[in-house]
DNA sequence: CATTTTAGTATCGACTCGATACGTTTAATC
DNA sequence: GATTAAACGTATCGAGTCGATACTAAAATG
């Protein structure tokens, strides 16, 4: 059964990612989870860069995430920025220091070593296949999809740029490249 | 850069595996790591079913692994069996109870839901691609490969069956389907 | 305006995990 | 063959993860 083989391979790759992250992180005194949070925030726009967003993405409780963030904040790798309109919200912005650190961690060295020598087309296909798998998995479980606005059914393009049909807010070019918490793929019927 | 996309997708899938394992495991009071150990042992032959083997596979220290194993042992999910020749070694054998438990966990439900509706050929291709990736990654980092004897360069077939060219021991059919710690893929020159 | 929901924090306890130290058995070296 | 080194496994400790629970504050709902 090849589904089991996919599971086994993913489990093993997951271990390698973790081992690699542990190694890379230990240089800076950071743990795998903390690196993952930074990587997530690096890809976020203002809809997803919150404690709740991180919590849903990682599948951890808000309490746990809150603790992780406290560490990252104290090391100057991210900045907490209260929302001006909704004062319950805190936006988590990765700092320049944080981004600099990430460059050494993503993509993991073993992936570069494994894929660099292959034709670019094969790597692209693998990336597409994995994204497909993710999409299918998240759809099946009705999970949040954590996609970028540009692939979202709520994203509308106007003559002045882009706009989120859900919140009504206008979106910048960088915005639509980033992860949104409310992201939903187009309905099947919308082709 | 599609390597980064591969990294991101793998990281996310890794999270899903973990979340799923946490859910499934909580029913039995088991943690993700403990399930992984069981899954590993399920695939092992006598060269790899040791504390050291688990330790290398998971990238954790022997001390950590030893503790995890103590829990699994006390719950009757595995059996410790001292080696008859080398009295330093302890073989870890998964019990029937352990195997029964695994069936509900592997493959993860979200993978089945995502892949079951697709053509079998596509899933097979994905499995092959992932195994390729794994193989390339492990080769590049000179890591242990944790492959089955049947794909190992030391495996020799004789008229009476199979034999490991490294240890000289003869191997049974079930043996060569399982993971070996000393596994090495054939040299490129041996094509 | 009362109630409910949502965002985030704080605290506690069970558990992970690496580091270290240790005992035992086997292999290596002289 | 005696000494030394290496390998396998265990035990203990402390820092840190992580879920559960309880809490405050702000916004949404009615």
Specify the pLDDT at position A96: 92
| Residue A29: CB less than 7 A from any atom in strand C | no
> Any idea what DSSP says for residue A148?
B
Residues 6+ apart with CB under 8 A from B122: none
| Residue B59: CB less than 7 A from any atom in strand C | yes
B190 against A27, higher pLDDT:
A27
C-alpha B31/C-alpha B35 separation (Å) is 6
Distance from CA of A178 to the nearest CA of B (A): 13
Does the distance separating the beta carbons of B7 and A107 come in below 8 Å?
A: yes
Greatest CA separation for chain A: 53
Angle at A84 between CA A80 and CA A85, to 5 degrees: 130
Specify the pLDDT at position B10: 93
| Residue A66: CB less than 7 A from any atom in strand C | yes
Cα–Cα nearest to A174, from A152, A148, A142, A143: A148
Q: What is the pLDDT along chain A (191 residues), one digit of tens a residue?
A: 789 999 999 998 998 888 888 888 877 888 889 999 999 898 886 567 889 888 888 888 888 999 999 999 988 899 999 988 888 899 999 999 999 888 888 898 889 988 998 999 999 999 999 999 988 887 766 556 666 666 666 566 666 656 665 555 666 665 665 666 657 665 444 33
C-alpha A90/C-alpha A96 separation (Å) is 19
Q: Nearest by CB to B9, which of A5, A8, A127?
A: A127
| Residue B85: CB less than 7 A from any atom in strand C | yes
- Kindly state the tokens that stand for B31: 């943690």
The Å distance, CA of B91 to C1' of D19, is 34
Q: What is the pLDDT of residues B56-78, one digit of tens each?
A: 888 888 888 999 999 899 888 99
- Chain A hits for B123, CB-CB cut-off 8 Å, are 2-3, 6
């Amino acid at each position: 059964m090849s589904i089991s083989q996919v599971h086994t391979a993913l489990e093993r790759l997951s271990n390698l990612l973790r081992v690699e992250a542990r190694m890379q992180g230990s240089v800076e005194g950071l743990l795998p989870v903390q690196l993952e949070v930074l990587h997530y925030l690096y890809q976020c726009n203002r809809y997803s860069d919150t404690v709740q967003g991180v919590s849903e993405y990682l599948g951890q409780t808000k309490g746990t995430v809150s603790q992780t963030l406290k560490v990252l904040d104290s090391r100057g790798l991210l900045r907490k920025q209260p929302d001006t309109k909704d004062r319950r919200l805190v936006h988590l912005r990765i700092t320049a220091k944080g981004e600099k650190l990430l460059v050494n961690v993503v993509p993991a060295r073993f992936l570069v070593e494994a894929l660099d020598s292959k034709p670019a087309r094969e790597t692209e296909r693998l990336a597409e296949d994995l994204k497909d798998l993710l999409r299918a998995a998240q759809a099946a479980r009705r999970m949040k999809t954590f996609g970028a606005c540009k692939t979202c059914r709520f994203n509308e393009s106007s003559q002045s740029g882009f706009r989120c049909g859900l919140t009504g807010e206008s979106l910048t070019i960088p915005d639509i490249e980033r992860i949104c918490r409310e992201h939903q793929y187009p309905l099947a019927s919308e082709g």
